[in-house]
C-alpha cells in the first residue's frame, strides 16, 4: 500500500466518523441527563432510515432534506415516548434494571412493527449522488459521503451552540453535572428530561436517515450501530458531547484500518497478515473491552489524570 | 431453610415433587411424540430462564449475552461427541467451557459500576457470533451436525431435559435460601451497603455468573443433541439471548418459580405462535415487557400473588389500623 491509499482510507474514516458522532450523540445526552441507557436508540435509527426512504419514494424529497425533516418529527415522537413511558420510571443516579428493560421492550416493539410494515427485505436509498464521486488528485470520494458528513457536522455544531448558549442547554448541563444541585437552583428536571429525550431521539432519527444513505437497511438495521454508539460513548466517557466526536473518530479509523493494514503475527516466526474482512465487525467490541480494561472512565480520564498529576 | 407452616407451607414443599413425579411418569402414559417434544423444549428454555434469573434476578446484573453460553454448550457437546465421548460428558464439558467464558467476560466488566456489564454482554454476543461464523473447525456459518451411533430415543432426550430443569430448580432453591443468596440480594439493592456489611460484591457476581453460565451451557448441549443440526445464527443469535432474558422477566424475577412460569409460558407460546406469525410473538413480548416493567415489576408471579393475597393483605391492613400501638 502506498501513501495515497492510506490518505484515501484516512479521509473515508473521517467522513464516516461524522455520521458516527451524530449517531452516538443522542444516546449520550439521554444518558447524561437521565442515566438511562437508551436501547431503543437502535429502533429510532432504523425508523429514521425508513422515514428518509418513505419521504424519498412518496414525496420525492431528497434524503438529506428528509433526514433534516426527521429532526422535528422525531423530536416530537421522542417527547411523546418520554411522556407515555419513560417518565414513569423511578429516578436513579445509575442505570436501573427497569429502565434498561423498558427501553429494550420498546425497541422490540419498534423493530417488529417495522417488520410488519416494511417486511424483512434489505432496502437502500439510491439518489444521483450515490454513484457520483469527486476527484481530489488520485483520491476519489463518493459525493454522498461528503454531503452526509457536511450535514452531520452542521447539526453537531448547532447542537453544540444549543448546549452552550441556551437556557435549555444550560439546564441540561446542570442536570448532567449534579441533578440535586440543579433542582435546588430551579431547573425543572421533568421538563428538561422530556426535551432531552426528544433531542436524543431527533438525532437518532436524523443519523438513521444519513446512515440509510450509506448502507442498506432492514428492520434489524440499528443493532450493529447501537453497539458502535456504545463503544463511542464509552470512549468519550458517557457524558460529554465533545468526547463523542473524539470517540467517533477513533472508532472509524480503527474500523477502517483494522482490515486494511497487515498485522504482525507470531507463528513459527514473525509474519504479516491481513485480518479477514468478515472480522471487521469484531473490531468495535475488541476495542470496547480494551478500553473498559485500561480506561474505565473513557478517554477524558486520560487527560484529567494528567491534569491532576501536574 | 424455613420450617413449613400451615397448609400453604406444606403445599409449597410437596407440589414441586409432585410435579417432578408426574413429569417423570408421563412418558409411560404415552401421550404422543408431540407432547413430549413440547415439554422437552419447554424444559430446555426453563433451565436457561432459571439460570439467567440467578444473575439477573437475584444479583440484579442484566445480561444480554446468555446466547454465548447456550451456543458454547451446544458446540462443545457436539465437538466432544464427535470425538467419541458420551453426550453426558459433552454436557459437562460444555458447562466447563461456559464457566471459563463467564470468567473471561466477568473479570473485566464486574469491576465497573453502571451500564458497562450490560454493554459488554451485547458486544460479546455479537463478537462471538462473528467469530463462530468464520471458524473452520465448526463449519463456520453453515453449521454443525451431530451424528450419534445409537438409535434416536425421544425419552432419553426428554429425561435429560427434565433432569436439567430439576438441577436448575435445585441450585436456585439452594442459592435463594443460602447466605450467598442473601449476599446477592444485598448487592442488587445497594452495592455499597452490601460492601459495608462485608459482602465481596465482585467475587459474588463472578461466582453466580459462572453457575448461571454452566446451567445455560447444559441446556444448550441438550438442545443441540436433540436438534442434531445447528448453526451460529441460531444458537449464538442475539434473539436467543433476548429470549433467555424475557422468560424470567415475564414470569417474575428474583424468585425461584417466577422464571419457571415464564419459561413454561414462553416454551408453549413460542412453539405455537412463532410458526404462524414469525414477527408477531416478539411484538407481543416487547409490549408485555413494557407493561410488566411499568405496572407489575414482579412479573406474572407477582400478579398472581397480588390476586390471591388481596384479602389477607386487607385484613393485615385493618389489623394494623386497629392496633393502638
Residues of B in contact with A97 (CB under 8 A): 56, 60, 62
CATH code of A65's domain: 1.10.3470
Distances (CA, A) of B273 to A119, A190, A291, A299, B239: 18, 40, 42, 47, 16
Contact (CB<8Å) B289/A104: yes
Domains held by chain A: number: 1
In whole angstroms, give the CA distance from residue A199 to residue A28.
11
Q: How confident is the model at residue A296 (pLDDT cuts 50, 70, 90)?
A: low
Q: Closest Cα partner for A154 from A65, A90, A54?
A: A65
pLDDT confidence of residue A301: 56
Does A112 reach chain B within 8 Å, measured CB to CB?
Answer: yes
pLDDT confidence of residue A200: 92
- The residue range of the domain holding A43 is 3-309
pLDDT confidence of residue A152: 86
pLDDT confidence of residue A147: 85
The partner residue sitting opposite B62, judged by closest CB among A100, A115, A281, is: A100
Chain B positions touching chain A (beta carbons under 8 Å)? 56, 60, 62, 108-109, 111-116, 118-120, 122-124, 126-127, 130-131, 133-134, 238, 242, 249, 279-280, 282-283, 285-290, 293-294, 297
Burial state string for A9-42 with b = 16 or more CB within 10 A and e = fewer than 16: bebbbbbbbbbbbbbbbbbbbbbbbbbbbbbbbb
- Nearest-Cα residue of chain A relative to residue B113: A94
Residues of A in contact with B116 (CB under 8 A): 234, 292, 296
- Nearest-Cα residue of chain A relative to residue B245: A101
Q: What is the pLDDT of residues A127-143, one digit of tens each?
A: 777 777 777 777 788 88
B92 Cβ neighbours under 8 A, 6+ residues apart: B218
Contact (CB<8Å) A230/B113: no
In whole angstroms, give the CA distance from residue B311 to residue B309.
6
Distance from CA of B188 to the nearest CA of A (A): 10
Distance from CA of B292 to the nearest CA of A (A): 9
pLDDT confidence of residue A92: 75
Contact (CB<8Å) B119/A37: yes
Contact (CB<8Å) A111/B282: yes
The partner residue sitting opposite B294, judged by closest CB among A31, A88, A100, is: A88
The distance of Cα A256 from the centroid of its chain, to the nearest Å, equals 17
Contact (CB<8Å) B134/A100: no
Average pLDDT score over residue span A267-275 = 73
pLDDT confidence of residue A194: 92
Burial state string for A77-86 with b = 16 or more CB within 10 A and e = fewer than 16: bbbebbeebb
Third-level CATH fold of B32-319:
ABC transporter involved in vitamin B12 uptake, BtuC (1.10.3470)
pLDDT confidence of residue B170: 93
Contact (CB<8Å) A289/B130: no
DSSP-based three-state secondary structure for B97: helix
Q: How confident is the model at residue A298 (pLDDT cuts 50, 70, 90)?
A: low
Q: Which residues of chain B have pLDDT under 50?
A: 311, 313-325
Residue B130 buriedness (CB in 10 A; 0-12 / 13-18 / 19+): buried
Name which of A236-240, A245-249, B67-71, B190-194 the model is least confident about: A236-240
Contact (CB<8Å) B116/A292: yes
Contact (CB<8Å) B130/A105: no
Distances (CA, A) of B145 to B74, B90, B157, B225, B227: 11, 15, 17, 9, 9
Q: What is the pLDDT of residues B132-152, one digit of tens each?
A: 888 877 777 777 888 777 777
Three cell numbers written together for B218? 447444559
Q: What is the pLDDT of residues B239-282, one digit of tens each?
A: 888 888 888 988 888 888 889 988 888 887 777 776 677 667 77
HEC secondary structure over A109-122: HHHHHHHHHHCCCC
- Nearest-Cα residue of chain B relative to residue A291: B108
Tell me the torsion sign for CA atoms B99, B100, B104, B107: positive
In whole angstroms, give the CA distance from residue B265 to residue B307.
19
* Phi, psi torsion values for A133, nearest 5 degrees: -145, 165
Name which of A65-79, A102-116, A215-229, B309-323 the model is least confident about: B309-323
Residues of A in contact with B283 (CB under 8 A): 108-109, 112-113, 116
Q: What is the pLDDT of residues A172-231, one digit of tens each?
A: 888 888 888 888 888 888 888 999 999 999 999 999 998 988 888 888 888 888 888 888
pLDDT confidence of residue A243: 80
The distance of Cα B250 from the centroid of its chain, to the nearest Å, equals 12
Does A234 reach chain B within 8 Å, measured CB to CB?
Answer: yes
Residues of B in contact with A94 (CB under 8 A): 113-115
pLDDT confidence of residue A148: 85
- A308 has pLDDT over 70: no
pLDDT confidence of residue B279: 67
More confident residue, A92 or B160: B160
Mean of the per-residue pLDDT values of chain A: 83
Mutate to test the interface with A, among B60, B112, B115 (most CBs of A within 10 A): B115
Confirm if A243 and A298 have CB atoms less than 8 A apart: yes
Mutate to test the interface with B, among A43, A106, A108 (most CBs of B within 10 A): A108
- Nearest-Cα residue of chain A relative to residue B279: A112
Amino acid at each position: 500500500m502506498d501513501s495515497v491509499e492510506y490518505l484515501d482510507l484516512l479521509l473515508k474514516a473521517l467522513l464516516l466518523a461524522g455520521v458516527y458522532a451524530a449517531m452516538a450523540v443522542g444516546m449520550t445526552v439521554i444518558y447524561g441527563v437521565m442515566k438511562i441507557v437508551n436501547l431503543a436508540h437502535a429502533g429510532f435509527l432504523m425508523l429514521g432510515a425508513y422515514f428518509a426512504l418513505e419521504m424519498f419514494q412518496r414525496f420525492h424529497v431528497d434524503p438529506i432534506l428528509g433526514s433534516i425533516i426527521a429532526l422535528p418529527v422525531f423530536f416530537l415522537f421522542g417527547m411523546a415516548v418520554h411522556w407515555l413511558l419513560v417518565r414513569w420510571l423511578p429516578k436513579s443516579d445509575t442505570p436501573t434494571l427497569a429502565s434498561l428493560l423498558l427501553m429494550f421492550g420498546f425497541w422490540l416493539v419498534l423493530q417488529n412493527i417495522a417488520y410488519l410494515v416494511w417486511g424483512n427485505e434489505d432496502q437502500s436509498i439510491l439518489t444521483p449522488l450515490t454513484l457520483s464521486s469527486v476527484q481530489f488528485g488520485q483520491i476519489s470520494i463518493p459525493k454522498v459521503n461528503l454531503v452526509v458528513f457536511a450535514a452531520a457536522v452542521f447539526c453537531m455544531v448547532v447542537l453544540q451552540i444549543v448546549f452552550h448558549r441556551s437556557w435549555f442547554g444550560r439546564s441540561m448541563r446542570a442536570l448532567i453535572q449534579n441533578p440535586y444541585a440543579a433542582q435546588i437552583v430551579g431547573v425543572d428536571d421533568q421538563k428538561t428530561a422530556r426535551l432531552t429525550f426528544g433531542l436524543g431521539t431527533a438525532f437518532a432519527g436524523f443519523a438513521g436517515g444519513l446512515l440509510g444513505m450509506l448502507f442498506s437497511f432492514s428492520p434489524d438495521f440499528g443493532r450493529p450501530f447501537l453497539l458502535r454508539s456504545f463503544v463511542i460513548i464509552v470512549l468519550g466517557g458517557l457524558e460529554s458531547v465533545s468526547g463523542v466526536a473524539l470517540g467517533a473518530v477513533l472508532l472509524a479509523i480503527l474500523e477502517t484500518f483494522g482490515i486494511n493494514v497487515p498485522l504482525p503475527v507470531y507463528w513459527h516466526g514473525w509474519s504479516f497478515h491481513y485480518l479477514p474482512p468478515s472480522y471487521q465487525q469484531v473490531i468495535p467490541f475488541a476495542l470496547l473491552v480494551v478500553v473498559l480494561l485500561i480506561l474505565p472512565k473513557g478517554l477524558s480520564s486520560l487527560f484529567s489524570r494528567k491534569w491532576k498529576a501536574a | 431453610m424455613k420450617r413449613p407452616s400451615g397448609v400453604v407451607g406444606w403445599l409449597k414443599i410437596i407440589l414441586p415433587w409432585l410435579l417432578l413425579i408426574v413429569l417423570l411418569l408421563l412418558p409411560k402414559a404415552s401421550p404422543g411424540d408431540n407432547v413430549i417434544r413440547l415439554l422437552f423444549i419447554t424444559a430446555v428454555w426453563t433451565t436457561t430462564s432459571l439460570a439467567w434469573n440467578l444473575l439477573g434476578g437475584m444479583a440484579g446484573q442484566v445480561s444480554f449475552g446468555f446466547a454465548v453460553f447456550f451456543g458454547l454448550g451446544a458446540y462443545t457437546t457436539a465437538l466432544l461427541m464427535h470425538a467419541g465421548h458420551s453426550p453426558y460428558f459433552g454436557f459437562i464439558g460444555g458447562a466447563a467451557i461456559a464457566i471459563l467464558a463467564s470468567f473471561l467476560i466477568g473479570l473485566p466488566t464486574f469491576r465497573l459500576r453502571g451500564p458497562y456489564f450490560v454493554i459488554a454482554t451485547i458486544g460479546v454476543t455479537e463478537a462471538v457470533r462473528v467469530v463462530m461464523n468464520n471458524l473452520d473447525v465448526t463449519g463456520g456459518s453453515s453449521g454443525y451436525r451431530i451424528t450419534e451411533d445409537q438409535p434416536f430415543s425421544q425419552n432419553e432426550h426428554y429425561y435429560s431435559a427434565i433432569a436439567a430443569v430439576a438441577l436448575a430448580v435445585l441450585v436456585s432453591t439452594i442459592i435463594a435460601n443460602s447466605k450467598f443468596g442473601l449476599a446477592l440480594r444485598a448487592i442488587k439493592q445497594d452495592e455499597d451497603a452490601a460492601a459495608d456489611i462485608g459482602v465481596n460484591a465482585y467475587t459474588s457476581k463472578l461466582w453466580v455468573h459462572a453457575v448461571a453460565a454452566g446451567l445455560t451451557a447444559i441446556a444448550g448441549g441438550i438442545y443441540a443433541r436433540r436438534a442434531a443440526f445447528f448453526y451460529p445464527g441460531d444458537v449464538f443469535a442475539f434473539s436467543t439471548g433476548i429470549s433467555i432474558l424475557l422468560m424470567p422477566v415475564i414470569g417474575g424475577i428474583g424468585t425461584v418459580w417466577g422464571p419457571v412460569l415464564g419459561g413454561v409460558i414462553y416454551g408453549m407460546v413460542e412453539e405455537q405462535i412463532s410458526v404462524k406469525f414469525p414477527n408477531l410473538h416478539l411484538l407481543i413480548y416487547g409490549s408485555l415487557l413494557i407493561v410488566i416493567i411499568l405496572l407489575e415489576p414482579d412479573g406474572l408471579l407477582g400478579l398472581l400473588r397480588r390476586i390471591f393475597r388481596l384479602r389477607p393483605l386487607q385484613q393485615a391492613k385493618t389489623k394494623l389500623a386497629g392496633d393502638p400501638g
